[in-house]
Structure 1
Amino acid sequence: MASDWRELVADKRRRQQESIPKDWLISPPPETALDVTSIPEGCELLSPRELLITNTTDISVLLEKLASAEWTSVEVTTAFYKRAIIAHQLVNCLTEIFVERALGRAAELDAHLKATGKVVGPLHGLPVSLKDQICIKGLETTMGYVSWIGKYADRDAALTEILYEVGAVPFVRTNVPQTLMWPETFNNVFGRTTNPANRSLTSGGSSGGEGALIAMRGSPLGVGSDIGGSIRIPALCNGIYALRPSYRRVPYEGCVNSMLGQDSIPSVLGPLSNSLSGVKAFMKAVIGQKPWLKDPLAIRKHWDEEEYALVEHGGGKKLCLAIMWNDGITVPSPPITRALNMVKQALLTAGHEVIDWQPLKHADLCRTISAIWNAGSQRDFEVTTAPTGEPVVATMNLVDTGVAVASFRPDNAGISAYELWQVQNTRSQLRKEYLDHWQQTAHVTGTGRPVDAIIVPGATWPAPPHGEFKYTNYTMVWNALDYPACIFPVTRVDPELDAQQPRQEFLNEKDKESYEIYDPAKFWNAPVGLQLIGRTMEEEAVIAMTEIVDAALKSGHDAKKANL
């Protein structure tokens, strides 16, 4: 049995390699080269025009040039495809590569624009990368499982349909961890995806291929999924923007997934991009297609311009934002705390109010979400891997064989339906307590409103070395509460500014373990980002408030440069 699954993997990897145009191959740098982000600029594969296209990170600018036919979809798609293939050779971020199909789609869009003078939709001509669970008709979707090699989708997922309708060009699919239930990216089919800023560090997970690809500017806009941090952690690890929307705001129907049928803590789809304009463009375009007409579970809520204008948040003129310095379980490492202080100062300088946020029962919330997942996840993983006998991945540590062989065993597998109901009921009660906790902040904000949003760490550290991402409560808690969260980059690890601080006392053993993972030398060049948290179904306001925070940070950075 073991040889059978390895043969399937060898054949799949061969077919993947053959799908790459030979003249897009480069001479890879030595493995000792850690930061590979500059290689696309210097490898001479991309023309000056292609570099100009792929370095245009503002999606609104790309869309304007595509709509005016200043840049054709064929040339934009080709440019990003070539850069994606370069990225793949450096950090192993892709799964499905379908060049002719994507360029054929781009040519159709160009012909339509030339013939009619009109765009097909708001994302006309834009290449979009998809996590390897969003089905595209006629393509395999392995999701990191050997057992799913050779299974071809007989139809598009609802989101894929919508992307075609709004004029996008799906052009690659990206790597994930086996099961998806990891904050790092490794599987037995495609192997490990590394971090472009420092290949000894993780790219995050489970949308790690998306995070690494977009950081390499190999895609202008990507789609990931998030059940406990799987959009946000890769965005944080790679220094890009991303949004974890509320349950069912973006259609999920037709995607493959782990734990299908578990709908108490649904996984959600959301965008990753090098700009907030990409996050907004995706959400506005997808919601504008009335996804509830394709997915029976999608929420019937139109894009709300009043909400984006922050009508319920004082028009955005003077916000009161809370900062959560730690979650009461682990204390963030120095670069995360420095980023929080940078945001606080930028907001105060911009005229907003900032108060401290007191976390409420975060440990209870995360225990509850874990109990819901674990009720059936072990069985789910065993059933899925059984046909080929591939091992269930048990560690993200680097291993000589490239394969992890032990089983992953959740703590409370096999609880009864009645016991599961009690866990779900506990979670409902905790959500009510958190709602009341937020409402009560109206007494201390000075605006007459409760806190507009919360700025929080996305993890205890920036992207750690492979196998060391051992604490995900900073993202999981918001899945349990179903609060939308937007990721924004702040800075990078600086060994001088971010030296480890001596500590004699720790909150608990997990805090001590997390403290010992951080070493500024090992975390060299790691991006540092944060999350902005809003209330359920408040995606438009969350995007708008993140734009305000991002602008304040950039204004402060520009002022500092001017004074140097």
Structure 2
Amino acid sequence: MQQEAFIVVHEWLKQLWPEAEIDCHVVLALTCGSAAAFLALKWVSQKRIKKQIQDACKKRGHGLEKMEKAVQKFKQQNPSVQVAHILSLPLVELTEKLREESLSPESVLYAYMGKALTVNQEVNCVRHFIPECEQHLQKLKRHAEKGLLYGVPVSIKDHIGYKGHLSTCGFTVSLGILEEEDSVLVKVLKRQGANPFVITNVPQSLMTYDCSNPIFGQTANPLNHRKSPGGSSGGEGALIAGGGSILGFGTDVGGSIRLPSSFCGLCGLKPTGSRLSNLGVRGPVDGILSVTLSLGPMARDVDSLVLCMKALLCDDMFQLDPTVPPMLFNEEIYSSTAPLRIGYYDTDGYFLLPPCMRRAVHETRKLLQEAGHTLVHFTPPSVPYVMDELFIKGLFADGGSTLLAMFGKDIIDPSLKHQVNYLRIPNLVKKGLAKIIKPWFPRLANHLNALCGVRSVKSLWEQHDKVKAYCKKFVDEWRKCKLDVVLCPVLGPAFTLRYPGKLLAAVSSTMLYNVLNFPAGVVPVTTVTEDDEEELQQYQGQCGDPWDKKLKKAVEGTVGLPVAVQCVALPWQEELCLRFMKEVETLSCKRRGKTSI
């Protein structure tokens, strides 16, 4: 290898200075010296990164110790507080008790802080404690006016800005940058009486639906520690599912709210992109227009999401961010009992989901029909085209160069190496490989071509135009069927750790509604059964290719884990989406003999 490098350098220097006498020994010394300098620089860089990680982990540890001391101090001073009772209350009931002062904000905050510490010890979901929550609590008590979320402790995803804290996106390069002010979401939450108390973990880059980074490590699913909590809002999903938070906030650019909700058995809402402000939300790659980022809530039940949206859709939100349409929550639409005309499908024609996820759609369809709603089969048009030409090509329009530059300055998390290796392949090689594998692995071939990105600004404009054209086509199909909402599957059940990074393309069920910018929510309706596990053994998938085989392996061993469905409405119809979600939740709970919250 060294000899080859020496020959290349020698020939290059001869071409550069043909008249000069190039001494072979000088060239050899230069080559070896350059190689040694490169290795030395790399070693110094890696050492610096590891030191940054150690410092960040130490700071996080101090924060968690401070949190634990605060909880212990409160318990000693207030031994009669019924922590288990507080943690068992649904959000709507909790807020009522806080407003009528039968529960104190202190007892609720420290109850959730204590539970969050326990959950974090088990699954590593808390990135950092927000010590300012204790001071904010005192401010809340001095305010005469109590907001809709008065005294509610809430958790926020890593990159939702909180003044004086980090927004890392799982990268060490962000460890020295503190937020200068609160994001609009945090400002509105505070004005509505909520109290952000922890920041939750995310995967490195946010471009995956696992939850691991080289700084703070892997987050596990609290329902099964061998499984992923989903991502990229995986820390949120794990904390809420474990009982350490009653209301949390994530972001969604391909399923990052809905997938953790599906994997962890939660309710989650991805609103239309600008229904809630994302000002102050830092991303690893900004400026992507083909695929819409949404910020939204995650909780244990639909009523919590509804209360949250009522609180956030307020004058404070509209004044702090004038780009948010001044649309208050429409109670009339949400409370309507008129029968719905519901489209449904159990597969999108790109990735066939496991048997349990399709079973959930059909069982829910039957329940809705029995409740008096009209169900119409609906086929989403051209999903394979959307996946490659609109989603992947839009998300990686630069061929992944921006992300690769960030990974180049960092340690790559093991869960992402498979994904990063795809991005590292030169475009010419990607295209060549795509041609070779097309006959036996067409989905990967199309995926590789899409990862090449777009060639020029003109091509990018054309790509944006294709997104608009597809949205019109989809809405035309929707209106032709005279639909109010759509019921469809969501990826699940929870994947075994490390598998999400090997199957980015499996997010077709969720990414579709980021490209379309439709509101979409997830509701758990059942659990994986022994029969589902047996049927999985016969699963061949959409194409019978290596991706289908990986998907089968990823979801093995999930008996008892949650199974969810996805509920979709047209843009700006969050209230209708939530009404549909509530109907699904109520009917599913009745069938299981549970009380709908």
TM-score bucket (shorter structure): 0.7 to 0.9
Deviation by residue 1:416-464 (Cα, 9 ceiling, x = unmatched): 11111111111111111101100111xxxxxxxx1221111111x3111
Structure 1 residue 541 and structure 2 residue 576: aligned? Answer: yes
Tell me if the contact between 2:67 and 2:129 (Cα under 8 Å) persists in the aligned partners: no
Tell me if the contact between 2:212 and 2:415 (Cα under 8 Å) persists in the aligned partners: no
Q: Describe the SS at the equivalent of 2:226.
A: strand
Structure 1 residue 90 and structure 2 residue 122: aligned? Answer: yes
Deviation at 1:540, TM superposition (A): 0.8
Distance 1:246 1:495, change over 3 A: same
Structure 1 residue 378 and structure 2 residue 384: aligned? Answer: no
What are the equivalent positions in structure 2 for 1:2-151 lying under 5 Å apart? 2-21=46-65, 24=68, 49-56=82-89, 58-99=90-131, 101-112=132-143, 116=144, 118-119=145-146, 121-151=147-177
Tell me if the contact between 1:8 and 1:146 (Cα under 8 Å) persists in the aligned partners: yes
Tell me if the contact between 2:454 and 2:460 (Cα under 8 Å) persists in the aligned partners: no
Deviation at 1:46, TM superposition (A): 10
Structure 1 residue 468 and structure 2 residue 499: aligned? Answer: yes
Deviation by residue 1:370-425 (Cα, 9 ceiling, x = unmatched): 11111136222234455xx2134474489xxxxx9857447214631111111111
Deviation at 1:347, TM superposition (A): 1.4
Q: Describe the SS at the equivalent of 1:262.
A: coil
What CA distance in whole angstroms lies between the structure 2 residues aligned with 1:516 and 1:109? 48
Distance 1:86 1:22, change over 3 A: same
Tell me if the contact between 1:92 and 1:193 (Cα under 8 Å) persists in the aligned partners: yes
Deviation at 1:509, TM superposition (A): 4.4
Deviation by residue 1:93-145 (Cα, 9 ceiling, x = unmatched): 0111124x212212332343xxx4x41x1111111100001111111221211
Q: Describe the SS at the equivalent of 2:403.
A: helix
Deviation at 1:530, TM superposition (A): 1.1
Distance 1:557 1:375, change over 3 A: same
Deviation at 1:174, TM superposition (A): 0.5
Q: Describe the SS at the equivalent of 1:200.
A: coil
Tell me if the contact between 1:322 and 1:356 (Cα under 8 Å) persists in the aligned partners: yes
**Structure 2 partner of 1:362:** 383
Structure 1 residue 390 and structure 2 residue 395: aligned? Answer: no
What CA distance in whole angstroms lies between the structure 2 residues aligned with 1:126 and 1:262? 34
Tell me if the contact between 1:144 and 1:187 (Cα under 8 Å) persists in the aligned partners: yes
Tell me if the contact between 2:400 and 2:451 (Cα under 8 Å) persists in the aligned partners: no
**Structure 2 partner of 1:421:** 461
Number of equivalenced pairs: 513
Deviation by residue 1:119-175 (Cα, 9 ceiling, x = unmatched): 1x1111111100001111111221211011121111111111111111110100001
Selected match of 2:562 from 518, 527, 536: 527
User: Which stretch of the first structure deviates more once superposed, 181-190 or 318-327?
Assistant: 318-327
Deviation by residue 1:329-370 (Cα, 9 ceiling, x = unmatched): 222212112212321232123222223221211111122121
Deviation by residue 1:196-238 (Cα, 9 ceiling, x = unmatched): 1111111101000000000011111000000110000000000
What CA distance in whole angstroms lies between the structure 2 residues aligned with 1:428 and 1:182? 25
Distance 1:3 1:551, change over 3 A: same
What are the equivalent positions in structure 2 for 1:346-361 lying under 5 Å apart? 346-361=367-382
Distance 1:285 1:2, change over 3 A: same
User: Which stretch of the first structure deviates more once superposed, 289-298 or 369-378?
Assistant: 289-298
What CA distance in whole angstroms lies between the structure 2 residues aligned with 1:499 and 1:46? 50
Aligned AA (2:82): R
What CA distance in whole angstroms lies between the structure 1 residues aligned with 2:559 and 2:79? 28
Selected match of 2:484 from 439, 442, 452: 452
Distance 1:506 1:151, change over 3 A: closer
Deviation at 1:66, TM superposition (A): 0.7
What CA distance in whole angstroms lies between the structure 1 residues aligned with 2:139 and 2:158? 25
What CA distance in whole angstroms lies between the structure 1 residues aligned with 2:129 and 2:58? 12
Distance 1:521 1:159, change over 3 A: closer
Structure 1 unaligned segments of length 5 or more: list them: 26-44, 310-314, 399-403, 442-449
Percent of paired sites with the same residue: 26
Tell me if the contact between 1:330 and 1:510 (Cα under 8 Å) persists in the aligned partners: no
What are the equivalent positions in structure 2 for 1:544-555 lying under 5 Å apart? 544-555=579-590
Distance 1:554 1:48, change over 3 A: farther
What CA distance in whole angstroms lies between the structure 2 residues aligned with 1:414 and 1:189? 32
Tell me if the contact between 2:269 and 2:519 (Cα under 8 Å) persists in the aligned partners: yes
What CA distance in whole angstroms lies between the structure 2 residues aligned with 1:426 and 1:414? 13
Structure 2 unaligned segments of length 5 or more: list them: 1-44, 70-77, 425-449
Tell me if the contact between 1:465 and 1:523 (Cα under 8 Å) persists in the aligned partners: no
Aligned AA (1:53): I
* Alignment TM-score, normalising by the size of structure 1: 0.85
What CA distance in whole angstroms lies between the structure 2 residues aligned with 1:346 and 1:46? 46
Query: What is the aligned-residue RMSD (CA, Å)?
Result: 2.5
Aligned AA (1:50): V
What CA distance in whole angstroms lies between the structure 1 residues aligned with 2:133 and 2:549? 43
What CA distance in whole angstroms lies between the structure 2 residues aligned with 1:46 and 1:86? 19
Q: Describe the SS at the equivalent of 1:528.
A: strand
**Structure 1 partner of 2:323:** 297
Tell me if the contact between 1:323 and 1:354 (Cα under 8 Å) persists in the aligned partners: yes
What CA distance in whole angstroms lies between the structure 1 residues aligned with 2:560 and 2:392? 32
Q: Describe the SS at the equivalent of 2:488.
A: strand
Aligned AA (1:318): P
Aligned AA (1:425): D
Aligned AA (1:325): D
**Structure 1 partner of 2:525:** 490
What CA distance in whole angstroms lies between the structure 1 residues aligned with 2:523 and 2:590? 15
**Structure 2 partner of 1:306:** 332
Deviation at 1:306, TM superposition (A): 2.9
Distance 1:124 1:519, change over 3 A: closer
Deviation at 1:10, TM superposition (A): 0.9
What CA distance in whole angstroms lies between the structure 2 residues aligned with 1:21 and 1:11? 15
Aligned AA (2:269): L
What CA distance in whole angstroms lies between the structure 1 residues aligned with 2:551 and 2:206? 26
Q: Describe the SS at the equivalent of 1:472.
A: helix
Structure with greater proportional helix content: 2
What CA distance in whole angstroms lies between the structure 2 residues aligned with 1:157 and 1:138? 11
Distance 1:280 1:369, change over 3 A: same
Aligned AA (1:12): A
Q: Describe the SS at the equivalent of 1:83.
A: helix
**Structure 2 partner of 1:319:** 340
Tell me if the contact between 1:316 and 1:545 (Cα under 8 Å) persists in the aligned partners: no
What CA distance in whole angstroms lies between the structure 2 residues aligned with 1:182 and 1:326? 22
Q: Describe the SS at the equivalent of 2:531.
A: coil
What CA distance in whole angstroms lies between the structure 1 residues aligned with 2:261 and 2:201? 14
Structure 1 residue 240 and structure 2 residue 271: aligned? Answer: no
What CA distance in whole angstroms lies between the structure 1 residues aligned with 2:123 and 2:513? 29
Distance 1:422 1:548, change over 3 A: same
Q: Describe the SS at the equivalent of 1:325.
A: coil
What CA distance in whole angstroms lies between the structure 2 residues aligned with 1:213 and 1:46? 25
